[in-house]
Amino acid sequence: MIGVNCACVLIAALLLPNIVTGEKPLLKTRLGLIQGLEADDGDYYMFLGIPYAKINESNLFGESLPHPPFDTIFEANDDSIMCPQREEFNQTIQGTINCLTLNIYVPKTANSTNKLPVLLYVYGGNYIVGFNGRYMYGPKYLVRHDIIIVVFNYRLGPYGFLCLDIPEVPGNQGYKDQKNALRWVYNYIEEFGGDRNKITLDGHSFGAISVDLLLHSMNENEKLFDKVILQSEGSLSPYAKLQRLHEKSVLKMARHLGTNTNDVRQAITFLSSVNSSLVIEASLKVSIVYSDCIEKTFNNAFKSMSNSDWNIKVPGAKNVSFMIGNTENELIHVYGLDIPEISRDLDQILRSSKYSPLTAIDTYEIAKIIHGLSQNERNV
């Protein structure tokens, strides 16, 4: 590890005003010293697992708070941090509640006179799964186009999307995490070589719903991005806006974990003291459905939309460029199974033990089947 004294010497001879080249780039930022890594698959630096907000330790279900600056060098080298969830692919319960981190990927061409545009990515996952690791959201291909990529975590499931009618847990906590991440990027990305006037907010599926809602929640005095990309979803999606209240579910979760109470606050306080893996397990047991939440008028409400908001004015959308689209045959692996040709061929591939887990070749075979069907213009 480079000592602070040594770092100060090195910082004088820079590329970026603050970046030191070498095996491990060291950045001097307003948040303190941040040490990243050099990528081994391209000409870029990686700053992994930087906390952009922190959890309120007395209320893990409430709003996240600003993260204090670092007193010692922050080693930005861990992209395995995940918010509590049942992992999407192997279905094991994973994650830690101190998960509000972001990963920043910076092409080496960035410097103080060559500030690069920024792509800020919001993962999907239906309010319950997803994380920012390179395992799913690596930068390798995009970073070649001289843009900075940022991918952040936000809380999921009970920690991100409980909608209770109390100021401690008003709802939309996960969206507020997202907004905190946007603010962090707007405030600090220039120190990483980014241009804060060129930020594109991009998301797919539930991430696209998020991007759309973030656009709606923006006001003219706080423009945190200037372009958006919505991939295969939007805030008018039937998956958004279920507007449930979760009081009963929270009481059931507490009961499941051994505390009988009819008081939602008591249940939340209790659940804040329980291991997050057990809380996720309990939330799965009581089958909660999450959605964005029409908040009551507590402070700092996240502006969501109601079902009657079809013609709403969106002041934050002024001068914001849009790209929006969907994927052909999307969700065919779910809905296509009712169509005989698809289910026959897919069944053969998916259910044969030889193909578990799927290899690249299986995926290719599946893609060929789906492509063949779309060539025939099957309407699925």
Ligand X SMILES: *[C@@H]1O[C@H](CO)[C@@H](O)[C@H](O)[C@H]1NC(C)=O
| One of 248, 318, 333, 344 touching ligand X (CB under 6 A) | 318
| One of 277, 298, 320, 374 touching ligand X (CB under 6 A) | 277
The answer to whether 9 and 22 are in contact (CB under 8 A) is no
CA distance 122 to 209: 10
List for the chain the helix, strand, coil content (%; round to 5): 35, 20, 45
| One of 1, 6, 8, 65 touching ligand X (CB under 6 A) | 65
- Inter-CA distances, 308 with 147, 293, 302, 304, 312, Å: 38, 14, 17, 12, 9
Which range, of 40-48, 88-96, 122-130, 284-292, touches ligand X by CB under 6 A? 88-96
H helical segments located in 154-235: 157-161, 173-188, 206-217
Cβ 275 to ligand X shortest distance, Å: 4
Sheet bearing 227-231, strands edge to edge: 37-38, 44-51, 101-107, 148-152, 116-122, 194-204, 227-231, 321-325
| One of 62, 124, 130, 170 touching ligand X (CB under 6 A) | 62
| One of 9, 56, 306, 321 touching ligand X (CB under 6 A) | 56
Identity of the residue, 96 or 363, whose beta carbon is nearer to ligand X in the bound complex: 96
What is the contact mask toward ligand X in residues 165 to 184, using x (rule: CB under 6 A)? ---x----------------
| One of 10, 15, 284, 317 touching ligand X (CB under 6 A) | 15
Which range, of 54-62, 121-129, 342-350, 361-369, touches ligand X by CB under 6 A? 54-62
For residue 52, how many C-alpha atoms fall within 13 Å in the half-sphere facing its CB? 29
The answer to whether 164 and 250 are in contact (CB under 8 A) is yes
CA distance 69 to 360: 43
Identity of the residue, 68 or 372, whose beta carbon is nearer to ligand X in the bound complex: 68
DSSP E strands: which ranges in the chain?
A: 26-29, 32-35, 37-38, 44-51, 53-54, 65-66, 74-75, 85-86, 93-94, 101-107, 116-122, 148-152, 194-204, 227-231, 321-325
Which range, of 89-97, 280-288, 297-305, 355-363, touches ligand X by CB under 6 A? 89-97
Cβ 181 to ligand X shortest distance, Å: 18
Sign of the CA dihedral 283, 285, 291, 294?
negative
The answer to whether 328 and 380 are in contact (CB under 8 A) is no
Question: Is residue 87 a contact residue for ligand X (CB under 6 A)?
Answer: yes
Question: Is residue 114 a contact residue for ligand X (CB under 6 A)?
Answer: yes
Question: Is residue 306 a contact residue for ligand X (CB under 6 A)?
Answer: no
Which tokens sit at 185? 């990027």
Identity of the residue, 58 or 77, whose beta carbon is nearer to ligand X in the bound complex: 58
Question: Is residue 321 a contact residue for ligand X (CB under 6 A)?
Answer: no
Identity of the residue, 237 or 277, whose beta carbon is nearer to ligand X in the bound complex: 277
Question: Is residue 299 a contact residue for ligand X (CB under 6 A)?
Answer: no
Which range, of 29-37, 51-59, 157-165, 333-341, touches ligand X by CB under 6 A? 51-59
Positions touching ligand X (CB under 6 A) are 15, 56, 58-59, 62, 65, 87, 90, 92, 94, 109, 111, 113-114, 135, 168, 275, 277, 318-319
